[in-house]
Chain A
C-alpha cells in the first residue's frame, strides 16, 4: 500500500511533429492531420498574421537555416502604452523636418537570419512604417515611421504579433557606445595605413644601409617617416600614452605604462636622429607596434560589446509597466512612476511591479527569486506582496505602498551597487607582470647607459634607446587581450558569458563555491517527488489537475501521461484543494488540513507520511476517493540530475562548497546530504542581508568566494563575492550583480566555466612567457650593442605573430554539444 515510486526520472516522450511556426515538437493532442500543427496558441496566431500579411516567405528562408534556438511565442498581451508617454517620446524618439519619426527598439526572440526578413517587413502589418532595419548582432531594430499614420505603441504591438516582443533601449547610451567603437576603428585603420607606408620607406632605408644611398634621399625618407609617425604616435597611440600616464598618476601597474615608455623614447630618439641626420630611427617599429596593439584592443572591445549586448537584452526583460487602475479604466504606465495608494492590477503570468497589499482577488505567487522559497504562496486579500515576484495564476489588485527604488527589491539593488563600488578591482595578471616589467626594464636601461657612457659615450644614448624600443612589450600587450577574447568567445558559444576577462582569471584558481539552493542546485519549481499509496488513483488525479492552473497541478501534468477520463463538476476549494467526479466517482485532492476538515481524523499511516514529508521539506497532497485517503503525493524541489556529477568535477579542480539558502534548514540539509556537502557547510533560513554578511565574512578571512545564485536575494552576496555567477533563468537584478552568467540551464556551464578558465589562464601564461623570452633576447642584443633597427623591426612582429598564433590555436572552452 505504501510503496514509494521515484518519479523524477521519467523520460519525456519523443517528439513527432514540429510546430509550423517555431519548429519545436508539438504535443500529441495538438497535432492537426490536415494542415500545420502548432505547439501553442501563440505560435498559431503569429502564423496566421504572417500568412495574412503575405509574408510566408519567412518560412522558406527559415527552412534554409539550421534550426537554432527557436522559442515558442509567448504572448504578453502588453499594450505598449508606455511607449507613447510624453516622457518616453522626448527621450527616445527623434523627429525630422517632414514629420518622420525614428526610434530604436530592442527585440526579444530574434534567433536567425530569416528574422531579419520578417522584422524589416513589419510595415506590411502596421501601415505607416516607412523603414525598419534590424541589427542582428544587437537585436535592435531602427524604425522610421509617419507620425500622422501610426504610433510607436502600434508598431510595438505589430512586432509582438510577429513574435518579437519589443523593449525600450537606452538610446543615449547606445549612441555614445557607437561613437566610441567608430573612433577605435578609425585609430586602428589610420595606424594600419601609417604602418604600411612607413614600412615601405623603411625597406628603402634598410637596403640603402647595405648598398649605399645618397644622403639627400636618405634624409627625404627619414623626414617623411617622421611626418607619418607623428600623428600615429600622438593620435592613434594617444590611447596608450593616456593609459600610461593614468597608471603613473594612480600608481597602479598597467600594461600601458611600459608600452608608453617604449613608444615615447623611440619617438623622441628617432625624431632627434632625424633632425641631426645621424643614428637610427625607429618609426617603422613604432607604427607597427601601435597598429598591432590597437588590433588587440579592438578585438577585446568588440567581444566586450557582444556580451554586453546579450546582457542588455536580458536586463530589458524587467517589469517596466504596471496596469494602473483608475475607476473603471485601466492604462499601462512605467512601473516606477506609480504613486503610493494607487491601485494596480496583476494578471496571471506577470511580474508584480510594485510593493503593495492585496485589495481584491487571489492567486498563487512565486516568490522564489526574492526569498529562495520554491513553493508558490497563496496570496489573499490583505497579504503584502513584493515587486519582482511573479503571479503564477489568478488575478490580483494591489494597493501600491511604494514603487521604483523605494521597493524592497529597489533597496536591495541600491545595496548591490554600493557593494560593487566598494569592491577592490581585480589586478590582471598581465598588469601585475607589467608592474615588475617596467621596473626591470628601467633598471637594465640605466645599467646599459652607465656601461656605454663609461666605454663609448658617443653610442650610449643610441644603444639605450634601442633597448627601450625593442623591449616595448608589444607581444605582452597583445598576448592577454587576444587570449582572453578568444576564450571569451568560445565561452559564450559554450553557454557562459563573462562580463570581463578578469573574472575568468579569478575563476581559474580554486576557491570556495557558495551555492544558493533554489534554482541552482535544484530546479526551483515543485516536482512530484514521491507517490505513496494506490497507483490506480494516478489517472483520476491527472484528469482532475488538467483543469487547473495551480503550480502543483502543473507538476502533476508533467509527471503523468495524459488520459481521457470523464471529469465533471470540478470545484476548486479554498486553501489549495480541488474536487470533481471522475468516471462517476467523487475524488477530492487537497492538503492534509483540508482533508482532515472534510473527513475527520486521518489514518495513522497518512499522518506518519505527512510528518515525514514535512520533515524533508516536501509538501504532501492527499488524494481521497470513495470517502477515504487512497494516496499521498509529495511535492518538492528536486535536485538537478547532473548536480552531483558536476560538483565532483569541481572538487577535482580544487573547489570546496557551501550552501546558503533562504529555504528551511531541514530542506537545505536534505539537499546537502544528497550532494555530499557537510551539514556544517549548509545554512538555511538566510535573508539577503545574512547572505551578504556571510560572504563578506568569508572574504575578510581571505577566502576566494564564488557565489552562485539565481535570485534577487543572492544579488548583494554576489556583488560582494570575488566572482558572482548567475545561473540561467535568474532574476534580472541578479544578472546585474553577476560577473558571469550562464545562458544554458543547469550546472554544466559552471563546471565548463571553471575548466575553460583554467585552460585560458594557462594560455595567457604561455603567451606572457613567450613574449618575455623574446624581450630577454632583445635586451641581450641591445646591451651588447648588436641590435640594429632592422633586427628590431623583424623581431617585434615575429614575437607578436607567434603569440597571436598561440592564442588563436588554444582550446579553452569546448563548444556546446547539442
Chain B
C-alpha cells in the first residue's frame, strides 16, 4: 500500500496539469463567447474576407 505515497503526488500533478490547461484557456478568451462559435460551425465555407483579403487566425 505504500505505493500511495507515489501515486497521490502523481495524481495531484495530473490535476495541476488540468488546472493549468484551464487557466491557459480562460486567459486566452476561449470562454468569453459561448454562443456564437457554435453557430459559426454550422455555416458553410464561403470565405469571410474578400477574395483578395488575407484570412488570418484570431489573436486576442
Please report A residues at the B interface, Cβ cutoff 8 Å: 57, 61, 100, 113, 116-117, 120-121, 123-124, 126-138, 142, 144, 146, 178, 181-182, 185-186, 189-190, 193, 197, 214, 217, 220-221, 224, 228
Contacts of A137 in B (CB 8 A): 33-36
Known: A57-B44, A178-B32, A181-B32. A220 touches B26 (CB 8 A): no
Contacts of B35 in A (CB 8 A): 135-137
What is the bound-complex CA distance between A725 and B19, given in angstroms? 44
* CB-contact partner of A224 in B12, B34, B54, B56, under 8 A: B12
Contacts of A220 in B (CB 8 A): 4-5, 8
B34 to chain A minimum Cβ distance, whole angstroms, is 8
Do B50 and A129 touch across chains, with their CB atoms under 8 A apart? yes
What is the bound-complex CA distance between A308 and B22, given in angstroms? 27
A309 to chain B minimum Cβ distance, whole angstroms, is 11
Do A131 and B26 touch across chains, with their CB atoms under 8 A apart? no
Q: Which of B5, B11, B33, B49 has the most CB of A within 10 A?
A: B49
What is the bound-complex CA distance between A427 and B5, given in angstroms? 51
* CB-contact partner of A131 in B11, B29, B42, B48, under 8 A: B48
Contacts of B22 in A (CB 8 A): 186, 189-190, 193
Contacts of B50 in A (CB 8 A): 123-124, 126-129
* CB-contact partner of A182 in B12, B27, B40, under 8 A: B27
* CB-contact partner of B32 in A121, A134, A144, A182, under 8 A: A182
Do A193 and B53 touch across chains, with their CB atoms under 8 A apart? no
Do B36 and A136 touch across chains, with their CB atoms under 8 A apart? yes
Contacts of B12 in A (CB 8 A): 197, 224, 228
Contacts of A136 in B (CB 8 A): 33, 35-36, 39
Which secondary structure characterizes the binding site on chain B?
A: loop
Do B27 and A197 touch across chains, with their CB atoms under 8 A apart? no
What is the bound-complex CA distance between A136 and B37, given in angstroms? 9
Q: Which of B12, B36, B50 has the most CB of A within 10 A?
A: B50
Contacts of B8 in A (CB 8 A): 220-221, 224
Contacts of A121 in B (CB 8 A): 46, 48
* CB-based closest 8 A-B pairs: A123-B49, A113-B39, A123-B50, A136-B36, A127-B50, A135-B33, A120-B48, A189-B22
* CB-contact partner of B31 in A61, A116, A133, A182, under 8 A: A182
Known: A186-B26, A189-B19, A217-B1. A130 touches B36 (CB 8 A): no
Contacts of A193 in B (CB 8 A): 15, 18-19, 22
Known: A130-B56, A133-B58, A220-B4. A182 touches B48 (CB 8 A): no
Which bracket fits the contact residues of B?
35 or more
CB-based nearest A residue for B33? A135
Do A197 and B53 touch across chains, with their CB atoms under 8 A apart? no
Do A123 and B48 touch across chains, with their CB atoms under 8 A apart? yes
CB-based nearest B residue for A302? B34
B2 to chain A minimum Cβ distance, whole angstroms, is 8
CB-based nearest B residue for A113? B39
Known: A193-B18, A220-B5. A130 touches B29 (CB 8 A): no
Do A131 and B39 touch across chains, with their CB atoms under 8 A apart? no
Contacts of B27 in A (CB 8 A): 182, 186
* CB-contact partner of A132 in B32, B43, B46, B48, under 8 A: B48
Do B55 and A130 touch across chains, with their CB atoms under 8 A apart? yes
What is the bound-complex CA distance between A57 and B43, given in angstroms? 9
Contacts of B53 in A (CB 8 A): 123, 127-130, 146
Known: A127-B52, A131-B55, A189-B19. A116 touches B39 (CB 8 A): yes
Contacts of A178 in B (CB 8 A): 29, 32
B15 to chain A minimum Cβ distance, whole angstroms, is 6
A662 to chain B minimum Cβ distance, whole angstroms, is 42
CB-based nearest A residue for B44? A57
What is the bound-complex CA distance between A128 and B11, given in angstroms? 51
Do B46 and A189 touch across chains, with their CB atoms under 8 A apart? no
B44 to chain A minimum Cβ distance, whole angstroms, is 7
Q: What are 19 A-B residue pairs whose CB atoms fall within 8 Å in the complex?
A: A61-B43, A113-B42, A121-B46, A124-B50, A127-B50, A129-B53, A130-B49, A130-B54, A130-B56, A131-B58, A135-B33, A136-B33, A137-B33, A178-B29, A182-B31, A189-B23, A217-B4, A224-B8, A224-B12
CB-based nearest A residue for B36? A136
Contacts of A57 in B (CB 8 A): 44, 46
What is the bound-complex CA distance between A181 and B33, given in angstroms? 11
Do B15 and A197 touch across chains, with their CB atoms under 8 A apart? yes
What is the bound-complex CA distance between A491 and B34, given in angstroms? 22
Contacts of B44 in A (CB 8 A): 57
B52 to chain A minimum Cβ distance, whole angstroms, is 7
B17 to chain A minimum Cβ distance, whole angstroms, is 11
Contacts of B4 in A (CB 8 A): 217, 220
CB-based nearest B residue for A64? B42
Contacts of A132 in B (CB 8 A): 48
Contacts of B34 in A (CB 8 A): 137
* CB-contact partner of A135 in B1, B5, B18, B36, under 8 A: B36
Contacts of A135 in B (CB 8 A): 32-33, 35-36
What is the bound-complex CA distance between A335 and B55, given in angstroms? 36
What is the bound-complex CA distance between A220 and B4, given in angstroms? 9
A117 to chain B minimum Cβ distance, whole angstroms, is 5
Do B55 and A134 touch across chains, with their CB atoms under 8 A apart? no
What is the bound-complex CA distance between A179 and B46, given in angstroms? 33
A341 to chain B minimum Cβ distance, whole angstroms, is 45
Do B19 and A190 touch across chains, with their CB atoms under 8 A apart? yes
Do A120 and B40 touch across chains, with their CB atoms under 8 A apart? yes
Known: A189-B23, A217-B1; 12 extra A-B contacts, CB below 8 A, are: A61-B43, A100-B56, A116-B36, A116-B39, A121-B48, A123-B48, A123-B50, A137-B33, A193-B15, A193-B22, A197-B15, A214-B1
* CB-contact partner of A129 in B1, B31, B46, B49, under 8 A: B49
What is the bound-complex CA distance between A224 and B13, given in angstroms? 12
Contacts of B18 in A (CB 8 A): 193
* CB-contact partner of B49 in A131, A182, A186, under 8 A: A131
Contacts of A186 in B (CB 8 A): 22-23, 26-27
What is the bound-complex CA distance between A132 and B49, given in angstroms? 8
What is the bound-complex CA distance between A785 and B52, given in angstroms? 77
